[in-house]
A and B are shown apart, each in its own frame.
Chain A
C-alpha cells in the first residue's frame, strides 16, 4: 500500500490533466453499464427504502441487482409460478425487461436506422410482434426504471468480501495509474522529440526536456511501479530501477538467457539482473559516461566481486579523465564495506598506475599522496590486520613511490607489531622495507639468499629488533623466521645468535625433568647452528627431541632433517 499522502497527490495531478475521466467513472456499476444507452443509466434506480448502505462489494452488487430487477426479488420472495407471484403489469414489465436486455446485448441492432429491419427481426423473434411492439417494450422499460444490463452477481465475486470503500479506493488508484501512464507517454514523446532535434509547434524553438521534467518522470515511474505492484502484485513488469529512470530510455538492455540446464545458475534479484542487462548494453556500445560510472557503482554495491564491472569502471574513470583522488575517496568507502574483496585492490592499483606519472615529479605531492594512502591503509588494517590484499597493495605502493626510506612507513609497521607481535603480515612487510630498498639492495637477489649490498648497520638493527620481539613471545614463529631471514640476507653465520637461541632451551637431553624448551623454533634454529658448526651429535639430538617430544606432529620433517645431516652440505 502506498502512503496516503502519495495517493492524495496523485488525485490532484490527475484531476488537472484528465478531469472528465475521473468524474465519469466513479463506481463499478457505472463502468459496467457504460455501453448501455444513456437514457437508461441516467434514470435513478428506485430509492432503496429499507436496505442500509451495503458494506461489502458483494452486498452492494446484490442490492444493485435487486434495484434493477425488482421483479426477480418478488419472484424469489413469493416463489411458485410467474403468474402466481406477479400481477399482470408486473409480468409485462418483467417480460419487457428481458426482451430489452437481449436487444441491448446486440448494440448494432438496437441503434442505427440502417439496421432497423434487423432490429425488427429480433423484436419479432423476441416477442412475436413488430416494430410497434418493440416500442412498447422500450416504453415499459424506461418508465419502470428497469436496468437494461445488470452485473450478474456471482456467488463469490473476486474480492466480494472486500469493503466498498476499499474497493472504490482501488478503482481510484487504477484511474490514477492510467493518468500517470498517459503523462509518462507524453514525456517519452517529448524526450524522443528532443533527441531527434525537433521544434515546438507553437514557438518554433527546439524541444528541450528540463531536468525538472526528467526528475518528475523518474518519480512518476516509481509511483507507477508502486501502483502496479499494489494493484497487480509484484513481478508483472520490468519496473527496475533503471527502466524507471528516463536517463536510460535510449538503452536497450541486453538480457542474457542461461542455456537449458545451465549449472550453478544463480536466481538473480530483479535489480541485479536488470543492472547487468544494462551493463552489457553499454559495454557492448563501448560507452564511457557518467551514467556508466553510476551503473558500475550500483552493481558493485550488489556484487563487489565482479571483475568485469570493475575494469569497465576503470575504463570510464580514465576516459572521462576524472580526478583520481575523487575516485580514491569513493573507493575508500567501498573498501571499508567489503574487507575481503579482491577486486577493489586491483582497481586501486590501476588508479595509482594512472596517477603516478602526474605527481611523480612533485615530491610534496608524492608525500601528500603517500600520507593519505597510509592513513587509509591503517584504517582498513585496523579492521582486518592480516588482510592479504591490503598488504600486497601496500608493498606495491612502497615500491611504486619509493617509500623505503619514509620513516613513517617503518614506524607504522612497528606500531602494528607492537600491537600484535604475531602479525606475520606486518613482519613480512618489514622484511620487504628493510631488504628490498633500491638504495642498496641488489636487484634480483632472491629473498632466501645473501645480499652483499645490504649495509651491516641494517642487518645489526634488524637482528636486534627481532631478538627484542622474540623475548616478548618466545614461541612466536614470526620473530624467529624473521631473525633467520635477516641473518641469511646479511650473509651471517646462524651461530652468531647461538647464545640467544640457547636461552630458550635448557637441559637438552638431560632427562624429562631437566629438559625445558621454551621455544621449539629456538631448538629448530639451534639444530641448524650445530650442523653449521659441524656438531652433528647435538644437531641430531635437537632434531630427535623435537620429533619425540616438543613438536611431535612434525616428526616426519624432523626425521628428514636428521637425514640431511648425513649428507655433507
Chain B
C-alpha cells in the first residue's frame, strides 16, 4: 500500500520558489514562456508537487499537459458529456460474466447510472418500464429488495431501488413498492441499541441507519414498531427512529470523523451517512450539533482535501479518490446548513422526525450543543480544488468515457455517480430555511420544480409546510474555473437525487397515509 506522505512545502524550496515568482513579476515576461501553458490560469497550488505517486499521476492532468480534451483558460477541460452518457447507458445494459461479483449489488448499478445520467441532464424516464420490471424481480414478499431475484432483502439495495424508482418517477413506479411489507421488514432490522442491521441476520452499521431513514422518509412510512421487531419493548414512545441519533453519536471517533460502527476508524463514506441521517431526523442545525462534536468534525472533513490534487481522501493518510467528492464533499452542504441556519428552538421536525422528537434525545443527554459557532459565509473547502480534480483527473478522456477514482484507474458506474455528485455539490449552494407554519412554499423552489412536482404543491400538506425547505442556487462566489455549460444538475444534499423527484414521491405517499 502506498503511504500518503503529506509535507508542508519545504522551507528551502518554497522560499526559493517564492523568490523566483517575485523575480518573474519584477523582470519581464520572457521567463514566463518557460511555463508549458502560459495562457492557463492554474494557481501553483495545483501544480507544485510534493513527491508522491498519486501526485505524479495527477499532475500531468492538473497542468493540462495530459488528457485528450481541450482546456479552457483556467486549464480545465469540459465535461465530456456524450462519452459519459454513452458509458452509463452501457452500464445499464447486459453486463459480461466477469461482473459476477456485482450479482448481489445490481440495484446499485441502477441508481448509480440513473443518478449520473440525471445529473448530466439526461431524461431517464425512458427507463421507467424496465426499472419497474427489474425492481419487481428483486422485491421479496417479506419486504424490501434484494441484490437480485430471490436474494435476501438488503437495506443498501433497497435504498438503491427506492431511489431508482423515484428517479424514473410516476405512479406505476411508486406502486412497485409493497410499503406495508417494507415497514414490517424495516422493523425486523431495527435493533434495541438504535441502529439497523443491513439485512436480517446481517451486520449493523451506520449505512443501515442512513438507508432506513431515507426509505422511511421517501415512502412516508409510519414509525410504529411492529411487535415482531427486535427493538419492540411495548413502550409506545419507542419507534423506528428511536436511538438512531445516539447510535450515530457512538460512531464519531477521536479524530472527529465518523466510523462505520462504533470503535472503528473515521471514514469519509460513513461521515456522509451520519450527517445525512441526522439531517433527516431533525433540522441539521439542531440534530448535528446535538449529537456530534462539530468543530472536530469540520477539522477532520477539511483535512480530507489535499493539494495539489484538490480531491478528497477517505481517511487520514490515505490517497485521494474521486468517490469522496461525494462522501466527503457532500458533507459540506449539511455542515453549512448546520452552521448557517438559525433553527427555532421548538423542534418542528426533520423529514422523518419522530412523533416526539424530544424522546430521541432522552437516552443520552447530548453533551455537545451548538455553542454559537460562526456561520460558514465562505466555502469551508476549496471548491476550485475539487472541481479541478474532478474535471482534470477523474474523467476518462478516452473513447471509453465514464468517471474514475484517479488517473490510471478504470472508470466505473460507482465512481461516475459519486464523482458527479461531488461536482454537483461543489457547483451549487444549498440553503436550508425553516418556514413559518403559515408561510407558503418557497417561490423559487416551486419555480425550480419540474412539472411532475406539481402534485407536491397541489395537495396541502401540513407536515411539509412545517418542514425546513432546502433551496439551491448555483455557487457564484469567487473564481469559477469551469464553463457554465459544464455545470451539472443539482441533487438534494440528503437524498442524493434531484429535489423535484424527492418531492414528487413524498407527495404521492403523503396523500396515501396507511397502507
Contact = CB atoms under 8 A, between A and B. Distances in A.
Contacts of B92: 263-264
B197 to A, nearest CB: 10
B293 A392 contact: no
B94 A265 contact: yes
Nearest to A262: B134
Interface stretch (B170-178, B246-254, B353-361, B455-463): B246-254
Contacts of A422: 3-5, 317
Contacts of A564: 295, 373-374
Q: Ordered nearest first, which 4 A-B pairs have the shortest CB separation?
A: A485-B254, A264-B109, A553-B307, A557-B302
Interface string A259-274: 1111111111100100
A512 B263 contact: no
A556 B380 contact: yes
A554 B148 CA distance: 43
A518 B8 contact: yes
A67 B298 CA distance: 97
Interface string A464-481: 000000000001111001
Given A307-B199, A395-B263, A448-B296, A263 B131 contact: yes
Given A551-B8, A553-B307, A428 B264 contact: yes
B261 interface: yes
A519 interface: yes
A267 B202 contact: no
B151 interface: yes
Contacts of A557: 298-299, 302, 380-381
Contacts of B265: 388, 391-392, 424-425, 428-429
A267 to B, nearest CB: 5
Interface stretch (A162-170, A232-240, A298-306, A322-330): A298-306
Contact of B103 (A266, A446, A449, A485): A266
A266 B202 contact: no
B440 interface: no
Interface string B43-72: 001000000000000000000000000000
Interface residues of B, number: 96
Interface of A: 254, 256, 258-269, 272, 280, 283, 302-308, 311, 314, 346, 349-350, 384-386, 388, 391-392, 395-396, 399, 420, 422-425, 428-429, 431-432, 435-436, 444, 446-449, 475-478, 481-482, 485, 488-489, 512-513, 515-520, 524, 549-557, 559-560, 563-564, 566-569
B371 interface: yes
B253 A262 contact: no
Given A266-B100, A422-B3, A446 B249 contact: yes
Given A422-B5, A475-B6, A553-B385, A560 B136 contact: no
A435 B254 CA distance: 10
20 contacts: A259-B136, A260-B133, A263-B106, A265-B106, A266-B97, A266-B106, A306-B103, A306-B151, A307-B202, A311-B202, A346-B202, A384-B1, A444-B364, A477-B6, A520-B8, A524-B299, A549-B14, A550-B9, A554-B381, A557-B299
A2 B358 CA distance: 75
A280 B11 contact: no
B3 A420 contact: yes
Contacts of B249: 446
Given A386-B318, A477-B6, A567-B374, A308 B146 contact: yes
A39 to B, nearest CB: 58
Interface string B94-135: 111101111111100110010000000000000101110110
Contact of B298 (A264, A552, A560): A560
B293 A449 contact: yes
Given A303-B101, A517-B8, A553-B305, 15 more contacts: A259-B136, A261-B133, A262-B133, A264-B102, A267-B95, A306-B103, A306-B104, A308-B152, A311-B199, A346-B203, A428-B253, A449-B293, A552-B307, A556-B382, A567-B373
B149 A556 contact: no
Contacts of A560: 298, 374, 376, 378, 380
Contacts of B91: 264
Given A260-B133, A307-B152, A553-B382, A428 B255 contact: yes
B104 A305 contact: yes
B372 A267 contact: no
B409 interface: no
Contacts of B260: 388, 392
A262 B129 CA distance: 9
A392 B305 contact: no
Nearest to B374: A563
Contacts of A258: 137, 149
Contacts of A423: 3, 317
B414 interface: no
A395 B264 contact: yes
A232 B143 CA distance: 45
B166 to A, nearest CB: 16
Given A391-B264, A446-B293, A519 B8 contact: yes
B245 to A, nearest CB: 13
Contact of B102 (A266, A386, A559, A568): A266
A424 to B, nearest CB: 4
Contacts of B146: 308
B150 interface: yes
Contacts of A265: 94-95, 106
A308 to B, nearest CB: 5
A311 B99 contact: no
B452 interface: no
Interface string B343-375: 000000000000000000000100110011110
B191 interface: no
B317 A478 contact: yes
Contact of A303 (B103, B131, B299, B378): B103
Contacts of A254: 150
Nearest to A384: B1
